[in-house]
Structure 1
Amino acid sequence: SETTTMAAEGGAGGGGGLDTGDLLELEHVIGYTGRHTNNLLCHPKLPTAFVYSLGANVVVGDVDDPHRQEFLRAHDEEVSALALSESGLLVASGQVGSTSSAGGEAPVVVWDYEGRRQLFNLFGIKGAVARLAFAPDDQFLAAAGADGLLFVWDMQTGEQLVAKKFLHPVEFLAWGELGVGAGRRPRYTLCYGTAAEVLAATLEYSARSMRYEMSVDKCALPSSGFVRSYPVGLVAGDSLLAGTVAGEFAVYKLETRVYRACVPVSGNGVWALARGRDGAIYAGAGDGMLKKFTGDDASWAAVAEVSLRGRVGAVTVSADGSFLLAGTSDGRIYRADTATLEAREVETSHVGAVTCLSFGSERSDLFVTGSDDASVRVWDLSDYRVTVTGGGNGRVASVFFDVVAGGLLAGGEDGYVRSYDEASGAESWYIAAHRGACTAVVGTDAAVITGGEDGKVAVWLRRSRELLLQFTEHIKPVVAVVPDLVAPHLVHSAGKDRCVFTYDLKEERRIVGHQMSKVGVGQFTAMSQRKDHEQELVTGGTDGKLLFWDCDVLDAPVMAMQDPSQSRVNALKVSPSGRFIALCSDDHHVKIFDVQRQTLLAAKLGHSGRVRDVAWSPDERQVVSVGDDSCIAVWNFFGSE
Structure 2
Amino acid sequence: MSRRGSRGKGISECDGKGTSGSGPSQGSNENNDYVDHEITQLTKLRSQPHKHLSRSMPGRFRLPVSTVKMLVGREGNYSGRGRFSSADNCHLLSRYLPLRGPWRVDSMNSHTYVSQFSADGSLFVAGCQGSQIRIYNVDRGWKVQKNILAKSLSWTITDISLSPDHRFLVYASMCPVVHIVNVGSTVTESYANITEIHDGLDFSVDGNEDNCCIFSVKFSIDGRELVAGTSDQSIYVYDLEANKCSLQIPAHESDVNAVCFADETGHLIYSGSDDALCKVWDRRCFITKGQAAGVLMGHLEGITFIDSRGDGRYFISNGKDQTLKLWDIRKMSSNVTCPRLRNYDWDYRWMEYPSHARMLKHPLDQSLVTYKGHSVLRTLIRCYFSPPYSTGQKYIYTGSSDGSIYIYDVVSGAQVAKLDYHDAPVRDCSWHPFYPTIVSSSWDGVIARWEFPGDNEPPAPLKRKTRLRRNRYEDSYF
TM-score normalised to structure 2 length = 0.46
Max Rg structure: 1
TM-score normalised to structure 1 length = 0.36
Higher strand residue share: 1
Higher helix residue share: 2
